[in-house]
Structures are given as structure tokens and as C-alpha cells.
Amino acid sequence: MKNVIKSKTKGSLIVMSGPSGSGKDSICNRLREYNDNFWVSISCTTRTPRKGEEEGIDYFFKSKEEFEKMIEEDDFLEYAMYNNQYYGTPKSKINQYLDSGKDVILVIEVQGALKIKHRIPEAVFIFIMPPTMKDLIYRLKKRGTETNDKILSRFKEAYKEINELSKYNYVVVNDEIDNAARKVNAILESQRCRVDRIEEVYLNNPEEEIHELLIDDKEFDNAELQV
């Protein structure tokens, strides 16, 4: 029997933002335990790689000159300056993954997210919050990769970012990584159930035979349906 509803197979564009230290990347990594139907877009940046970060896996690390050349050639879906460093989302591969049915998650700063919201309002926007600002400071210090001045700068920037919270569709508090990852997965699953993803509703089909048989319960019980 044919399903009554045919839904779009194209994936959703998911934009995830939050203060530095809120755990966006950790959530995406844990999310893979619950969902394998998504791809995390790899951003370009001019900042120095942190310990353990790899080219082409965590970021595409570019010089300022390389990044600005990509801007001139319109290679970015969005880009922004954050803490005196460029960050940008390259266009390549995003549409390829969406068309294949996979959701694409962009882990980007608030500036870039709001640019995408202007260009692609149908995208889904998730804001990741730390449980408290004290937890945020602890996580930034725990990295052991930044000076106190840089941590203070990120902390001040976090307040500005949180003020943009109302422009997002969802907020997830990352108090515990498994719990936060499950919530994000629930959001991804719910997007696939949206009414605006329906391509077609099939009513003029063999299901009409069922409707006719329901008029007489006895006839329905004894019928052998060929659908």
C-alpha cells in the first residue's frame, strides 16, 4: 500500500551558534551517536589552530590574504570577523549534501548566522547556551590555549551574542553533553515532520476501496483487499 504522504527528501540547513566555550563542537561530535544523517560543514578561519585541531577536519586554516581572496571570488555563503579573525562558510559541498537528503549543520558565529537568516530564512537556527556564565569561564580556562586577555574578550563577546537569542528558533542549554545532543537530535527529527516538507498527499488511490468497505463493517472484515 502506498503511503498517504510523500515528503521532500532534501535535507535541512541547520545553523548552530553560541558563545565560545558553550560546547557546540562537542555536541555535534556526540550527536553522531544518535544520528548519522547529517554533515557538519567545515568553516574557514584565519585564526591559529588550537592543539589537536587538524586541517580539513576542524577548519580550513587560511592566511588573511587567502581568506580575502576567497571573499573577492564570492566563495562564502557567509563570513564574519570575530575577535579580530575571519571565519567563513564555504559554499562548496553544502548543496550537494542537502540534495542527497542529509541535514547540513553550520557551526558558526552569531554574526554569520544572522547573515544566513537574511538570505535563507527557512534554515533552522539553534542557539547553544552554557548553564551559567561561571561555567563558560571555567570551560574557556580549561582549554589552556588562550591568555586571560583573550578569555576576557570572549566573555564580553558572549554577552553580546546572548542578546541575539530571540532571533533563533531553538535554544539548548548544554548542562550535560548527552542531554544536549539528544535535544538537538530531537530538533532535527522534528524538522522532518513539518507540514511544509510535504510534497504530495495521495487520496485518489486504492485507499478509496477501503473507504467504501468501511461503510459496511461486515463486508470490510471479510474482504480481501488488493492494494
Question: With pLDDT > 90 as the criterion, what percentage of the chain qualifies?
Answer: 50
pLDDT of residue 213: 61
Of 58, 92, 126, which marks where a domain is finished?
Answer: 92
Q: Which three cell numbers stand for residue 9?
A: 527528501
Q: Residue 42's pLDDT band (boundaries 50, 70, 90)?
A: very high
Asked if residue 97 belongs to a domain, the reply is no
221 vs 9, more confident: 9
Largest CA distance in the chain: 80
- Nearest Cα neighbor of 124 from 113, 136, 134 is 113
Residue type, 191: Q
Asked if residue 174 belongs to a domain, the reply is yes
Q: Is the separation of the CB atoms in 62 and 44 below 8 Å?
A: yes
Q: Mean pLDDT lowest for which of 41-55, 90-104, 213-227?
A: 213-227
Whether residue 71 sits in one domain with residue 138: no
Whether residue 65 sits in one domain with residue 50: yes
Query: Domain containing 76 — which CATH number?
Result: 3.30.63.10
Whether residue 220 sits in one domain with residue 135: yes
Whether residue 6 sits in one domain with residue 16: yes
Whether residue 56 sits in one domain with residue 159: no
Entry pTM: 0.77
Instruction: Please provide the DSSP assignment of 25-62 as one string.
Output: HHHHHHHTTT--SEEEPPPEE-SPPPTT--BTTTBEE-
* Residue 72 structural domain: 42-92
Whether residue 57 sits in one domain with residue 29: no
Whether residue 116 sits in one domain with residue 18: yes
pLDDT at 169 over 70: yes
Asked if residue 217 belongs to a domain, the reply is yes
The CA angle 69-67-137, to the nearest 5 degrees, is 160
Q: Residue 72's pLDDT band (boundaries 50, 70, 90)?
A: very high
Asked if residue 66 belongs to a domain, the reply is yes
Partner residues linked to 200 by β-bridges: 6
Average pLDDT, the chain: 85
